Structures are given as C-alpha cells and as structure tokens.
C-alpha cells in the first residue's frame, strides 16, 4: 500500500500539474485519486484476500473467525483516516446498533487529508456491532461495523 506521504506527494503533483485523475497499483493494492473541483477524493481498492495454504492433517477444517461463525459481515475502512460516527459533533450518529442499512446507507465518515469521505454500507442488513471508536484513527481494511445480513 502507498504510504500517506506518497499520497500527499501525488495530490500535490496533481494540483500543480492540473491532473484530474490518477490510478496507481503497488503490489496487490490499488488507489485512485480524482480531483473534484478544489478537493481530491481518495478511493482505495482492497487487495484480494490472501490464499490459504491447505492443511496438512486430513479432515481438519480451518477455524472460523468469530465474525464468520456468527454470520456477520464487515464494513471495512476503504482508506487510512479518522472515523466519525456523525456528520458533526452536534448531530446523532449515522447508524447505531440495530439500525437497518441498505447498499446506499451512509454509515460514517472517514476523513483523510482534510477530505471527508462518506462511507456507505454497500450491503443490506442490521448493524450488530460498531467496532471503530468515534474520532479515532482507522487503517485501510480495518473493520468499522459488523452487519447481520438480510
């Protein structure tokens, strides 16, 4: 994955050279930068899941994570930034435990380099757990919410 300083340098180069859009692939990760007027929007594309090597003992099954065992899906952070549960400090959170979500439901904001990115659920279900803490830093791919799918 690109380091935050590399992303900042790319944004500066885009601004200085009036480049509207750039996509970069590094290893298995890919990032797309797109200028929207004076702002630059950062979209991370998750790397494909790592391949699991076959087990050596016959008949043994790979252990399930607690999330998989409970049938929950994750809404993960698409970027490194700061997690915000609500649009501003005086507003209620976008979602709470028990909230019904659909693909277009905004569940939070992740702020990266002064750009506030609305994160959508991209699935149908019920919020079962809020994993991220408000106003705390999150990493790319870090779980933000656990959802019981419908």
Query: Locate tokens 């290893």: which residue?
Result: 27
Residues 63-100 pLDDT 10s: 445 555 578 999 999 999 999 999 999 999 999 999 99
Cβ-based neighbour number of residue 62 at 10 Å: 9
pLDDT over 90 percentage in the chain? 51
Which residue ranges form the domains of the chain, and what is each CATH number?
A: 4-45 (no CATH), 69-149 (2.40.50.100)
pLDDT at 134: 96
Separation of alpha carbons 100 and 82, rounded Å: 24
Contact in structure between 138 and 110 (CB atoms under 8 Å): yes
Confidence bin at 6 (pLDDT 50/70/90): confident
Q: What angle do CA 117, 36, 47 make, to 5 degrees?
A: 50
pTM: 0.57
């Amino acid at each position: 994955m690109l380091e935050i300083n590399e992303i900042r340098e790319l944004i500066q180069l885009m601004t200085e050279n009036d480049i509207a859009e750039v996509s970069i692939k590094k290893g298995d990760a890919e990032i797309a930068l797109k200028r929207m007027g004076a702002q630059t929007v950062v979209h991370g594309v998750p790397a494909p899941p790592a391949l699991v090597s076959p087990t050596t003992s016959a008949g043994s099954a790979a252990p399930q994570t607690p999330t998989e065992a409970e049938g929950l899906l994750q809404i993960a952070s698409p970027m490194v930034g700061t997690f915000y549960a609500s649009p501003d400090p005086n507003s209620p959170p976008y979602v709470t435990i028990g909230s019904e979500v659909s693909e277009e439901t905004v569940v939070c904001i992740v702020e990266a380099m002064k750009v506030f990115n609305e994160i959508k659920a991209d699935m149908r279900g019920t919020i079962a757990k809020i994993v991220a803490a408000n106003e705390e830093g999150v990493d790319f791919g870090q779980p933000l919410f656990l959802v019981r799918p419908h």
